[in-house]
Structure formats: structure tokens, C-alpha cells
Structure 1
């Protein structure tokens, strides 16, 4: 899932970049972090998101209910007017899904070949065929529920 991240630029050499993840900010929680350099932004916010997701899961809250409205939407909200810039960070939520279970499915061989080629051409996005299918299933389930 892609998470929008608001970035507040440092005001001087002694100030860090402020980071906020609006999709994980509710009345009960806030997902914020800081980074001393631009290179540290992605690792810092990734860690903050993962820690927040773990906490939400421990409290029994459904991660499937998380919706990110996108940076263009958050930019218009006065609550995030202090953010000077926005970026998207991809977090693989499959580790929060539970234990893997082997299934047997059938599909056309040409479709399997297209899936395998997509996986091969996108190693930064898909680990393997199963990960691709799970990602596609999540996308369809999100679309069906909206």
C-alpha cells in the first residue's frame, strides 16, 4: 500500500525534517517521525509506519480499513498546511495478513506467463507470483468494497 507522507522542511541546521502520515492519524493515534537528512526520510517514515501498523494490529484493529486519500487531497487540508512537500512510500502489508496457505488454482497459461513476466520486470514491487496474485486480490477487494 502507498502511504502519503507530509514533509516539513527544517528551519535551520539544528532542526530535523518533520514527517507525518495522515492515513495513520486518527483521534486515537498519530504517525509522525523526523529525519536529520533527506537520505534518512524514507527509512525513518518506513519504520514509523511499520511500528504503527504493528501497534494497530496488536490492538485488534483491522488494517484493511486504512485508506490513504493521496497527497493531492492532504495538501488541501488545513491540518497539513505546514507540510512543504509530499511523497509516497510503499509498504508491503502482506506480513500483517497472517500465515501463508497453499492453494491450487487454474488459469490460462498465457495469463500465467504475463504474470511471471511482470514479476520478473518488477522485482522491486513483486517478490514472486504468489505476491503478485495477493496484491491483485487486495486491489480487487478494496475496489469492490468502495
Structure 2
């Protein structure tokens, strides 16, 4: 799915690159992000879009309702210097579980299983690994 992303260039070395994806506002959501460096702008824009699209799905909305038809937002958001159309594969966010194959060493697998056994907030090994991966990626955004 294509999303129009506004990019606000920093005015000084102490400011970040600002990002906005206005199409989410049609459903009452805000989608903004920031990037410390220019070369990570697209990465942070995609991460923000995926996070908000997941929230939209969780709240019961259809992703097709986000189709903005490459609408121009320049008049509504004049502080954003550049606008790009960014393709993000949001279809993969639908709530269907997908089985994957991974390889872990036996000692690591034993530690994971022991941890999950004592921490009942995790349903199973897969739940733990999914939450651990999500937490790691969230921390890497900072």
C-alpha cells in the first residue's frame, strides 16, 4: 500500500527530521515520527506506518480505508518540506499467525523454555520470542 509521507528538514543540528503520514487522520489517528539522520528517514517512516496500521487493525478498521489516492497534503501541512509516496507492505499485519522455522542452540533453547516456564505472562515459547523481538526492535528505534 502506498502512503504519502511529509518530511520536515531540521532547521539546526540539534533538531531531528520530522515525519508525518496524514492519511491516518481520516480514522482519528495521528502518525508522526522523527529521525536523527537523513539516511534513516525512510526506515523510521515505515516503522511508524507499520505501528499505526497495526493499531488500526487492532481497533477493527479496514486497511483499505487508508487509501489516500496520493492526495497532496502540502496546503494542510506547509511546514513539511518534501512529500514522498512510500510503499509499505501492511497486508502482512493481518492477524493470521504464520509458522516459521528458526534454529537455536540447545543451551539457548533450554534457557528460553525455563524462562517461559517461570514467567506466566508468556503463553508459550513463540509468544516469548515474538515479544522479545518486538521489544528489541522498539529499543533500537531510540
Pairwise TM-score range, normalised by the shorter structure: 0.5 to 0.7
Please say if residues 22 and 68 of structure 1, whose CA atoms lie closer than 8 Å, have aligned partners that are also in contact.
no
Could you say which residue in structure 2 is the equivalent of 1:63? 63
What RMSD in Å do the two structures reach over aligned CA positions? 1.9
Figure out how many residues of one structure are paired with residues of the other and give that number.
Answer: 97
> How many Å separate the matches in 2 of 1:89 and 1:16?
20
Deviation readout 1:113-133 (Å, 9 max, x if unpaired)? xxxxxxxxxxxxxxxxxxxxx
Could you say which residue in structure 1 is the equivalent of 2:6? 6
Could you say which residue in structure 2 is the equivalent of 1:138? none
> How many Å separate the matches in 1 of 2:11 and 2:96?
45
Alignment of 1:1-146 (within 5 A): 1-26=1-26, 28-70=28-70, 73-75=72-74, 77=75, 79-97=76-94, 99=96
Offset of 1:82 from its aligned partner? 0.7
Structure with larger Rg: 2
Please say if residues 2 and 88 of structure 1, whose CA atoms lie closer than 8 Å, have aligned partners that are also in contact.
yes
**3-state SS of paired residue (1:49):** helix
> How many Å separate the matches in 2 of 1:36 and 1:85?
17
> How many Å separate the matches in 1 of 2:9 and 2:93?
32
Q: Which runs of 5+ in 1 are unaligned?
A: 101-146
Q: Which runs of 5+ in 2 are unaligned?
A: 98-142
Give the TM-score normalised by structure 2.
0.62
Could you say which residue in structure 2 is the equivalent of 1:142? none
Decide which moves more: 5-14 or 17-26: 17-26
**3-state SS of paired residue (2:73):** helix
> How many Å separate the matches in 1 of 2:13 and 2:85?
25
